[in-house]
């Protein structure tokens, strides 16, 4: 049985096995030929491609290597780029070359997301080129996952769990905990936050949520975002974030999905601001805190730590101990202490500033100690076992080709068997 390439692959796939070929081509016309071949691309397709890449005309012209006036002229229909120039445009905008010959743009130029969660006090006015690329990757992967289920004639799990702002955060947290913490013996020690993150990621995937990780966006710009759909909602967390931060982001974004307010979250709210100014974000943080640090249990542990250490205040040591016991960041611990009126706003602000200043040093240390990761392990980390398994199962049933699987996973063909072994297939 022959299967056509999924339309979603034709409509701006972000996996670049095909683009690697283009990058090896010369950026100049053939010197042996006196004929320069101009493309017949529609100007509106050029404008759409740039806007979908979230590039200003100045940034785009620099990346493409042409004057701003020339790019503006192409977008206005005054002239057309050559075929070679259009290849360069396709690489910069992260689109298939053939997409630009479509009669109409395949997707809206704007991304269907409204807000995003990131580190506090780092406000930005627009989505960056890198973040836009990560969002498009997540959207495309979800579309591919849905297509794989259709190819195999299976139905994705319907994610029907909901919540609303009128509910108490503790009530929502209890629903989630009953789903994820039903077997306490299987939960790894929170002191090993990497294992704890992997555990919660897998549990959320079992509920029908696709959990991806980003790798090209700084933590200062984005810590997480989510996309709500009844089938295969998506949560994306930043792999550059500490595992404790990623764990908190998982449940922050899960709450957005429960509320059906998913998106790239607005600023991680300053707890000192009036709640009405950051109502949804504050609410999502409260639910996440209740899931990971239940009120009664957290109070008992906090008081016990003070007693054991003989402290009358929450020292850095006590905060670190609570962080390890509950699998959250130190900043999340102090925020929880503040919401429970166990510390002052001034103490919270002081500690938050201290922890934020320490983040660059942690990043540098991790980078200096890091070792190269194989492409197969990288895709497992970024795309997750559920997505990879769907692609490999479809290939195993001859629903898609080996080349299709290679493209969907952004892996060379020889790596397919390796990634299959890593996910237990």
Q: Does the CA dihedral 12-52-15-422 come out positive or negative?
A: negative
Rounded to an integer, what is the distance from CA 23 to the centroid of its chain? 26
The reported pLDDT for the residue numbered 26 is 43
Reported as a pLDDT band with limits 50, 70 and 90, residue 19 is very low
Q: Of the ranges 37-41, 185-189, 205-209, 220-224, which one carries the lowest mean pLDDT score? A: 185-189
pLDDT of 278-331, one tens digit each? 788 889 989 999 999 999 999 999 988 888 767 678 888 899 989 988 888 888
What number is the average pLDDT over the span 348-369?
68
Taking the whole predicted model, whether its pTM rises above 0.85 is answered as no
- Euclidean distance between CA atoms 357 and 363, whole angstroms: 11
pLDDT of 78-133, one tens digit each? 999 999 999 999 999 988 888 899 988 887 766 665 555 444 444 434 678 898 88
Is pLDDT at 270 greater than 80 in this prediction? no
Residues with Cβ within 8 Å of residue 367, at least 6 apart in sequence: none
The reported pLDDT for the residue numbered 16 is 40
The reported pLDDT for the residue numbered 370 is 57
> Look-up: residue for tokens 């100690």?
369
pLDDT of 367-389, one tens digit each? 555 567 889 999 999 999 999 99
Is pLDDT at 160 greater than 60 in this prediction? yes
Reported as a pLDDT band with limits 50, 70 and 90, residue 27 is very low
Is pLDDT at 32 greater than 60 in this prediction? no
The HSE-up count of residue 377 (CA atoms within 13 Å, CB side) is: 4
Homologous superfamily in CATH for domain 7-101: lambda repressor-like DNA-binding domains (1.10.260.40)
Is pLDDT at 362 greater than 50 in this prediction? no
């Amino acid at each position: 049985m022959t299967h056509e390439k999924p339309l979603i692959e034709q409509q701006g796939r972000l996996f670049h096995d095909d683009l690697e070929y283009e990058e090896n081509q010369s950026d100049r016309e053939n010197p042996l030929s006196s004929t320069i071949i101009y493309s017949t691309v529609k100007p509106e397709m050029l404008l759409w491609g740039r806007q979908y890449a979230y590039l200003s005309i100045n940034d785009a012209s620099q990346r493409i290597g042409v004057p701003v006036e020339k790019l503006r002229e192409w977008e206005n229909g005054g002239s057309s780029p050559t075929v070679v120039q259009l290849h360069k445009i396709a690489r910069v905008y992260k689109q298939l070359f053939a997409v630009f010959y479509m009669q109409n743009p395949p997707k809206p130029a704007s991304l269907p997301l409204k807000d995003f969660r990131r580190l506090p006090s780092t406000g930005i006015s627009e989505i960056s080129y890198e973040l836009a690329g990560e969002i498009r990757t997540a959207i495309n992967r979800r579309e591919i996952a849905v297509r794989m289920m259709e190819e195999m004639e299976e139905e994705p799990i319907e994610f029907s769990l909901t919540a609303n702002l009128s509910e108490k955060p503790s009530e929502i947290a209890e629903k989630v905990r009953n789903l994820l913490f039903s077997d306490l013996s299987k939960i790894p020690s929170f002191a090993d936050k990497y294992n704890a993150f992997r555990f919660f990621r897998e549990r959320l995937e079992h509920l029908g949520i696709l959990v991806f990780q980003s790798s090209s966006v700084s933590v200062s710009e984005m810590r997480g975002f989510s996309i709500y759909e009844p089938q295969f909602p998506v949560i994306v967390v930043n792999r550059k974030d500490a595992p404790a931060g990623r764990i908190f982001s998982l449940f922050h974004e899960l709450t957005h999905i429960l509320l059906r307010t998913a998106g790239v979250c607005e600023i991680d709210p300053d707890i000192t601001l009036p709640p009405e100014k950051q109502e949804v974000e504050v609410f999502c943080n409260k639910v996440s805190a209740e899931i990971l640090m239940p009120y009664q249990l957290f109070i008992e542990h906090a008081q016990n730590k003070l007693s054991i250490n003989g402290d009358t205040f929450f020292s850095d040591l006590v905060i670190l101990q609570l962080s390890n016991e509950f699998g959250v960041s130190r900043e999340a611990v102090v925020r929880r202490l503040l919401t429970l009126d166990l510390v002052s706003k001034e103490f919270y602000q002081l500690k938050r500033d201290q922890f934020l200043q320490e983040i660059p040093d942690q990043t540098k240390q991790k980078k200096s100690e890091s070792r190269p990761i194989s492409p197969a392990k990288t895709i497992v980390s970024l795309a997750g076992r559920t997505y990879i398994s769907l692609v490999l199962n479809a290939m195993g049933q001859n629903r898609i080709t080996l080349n299709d699987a290679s493209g969907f996973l952004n892996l060379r063909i020889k790596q397919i068997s390796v990634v299959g072994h890593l996910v237990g297939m």
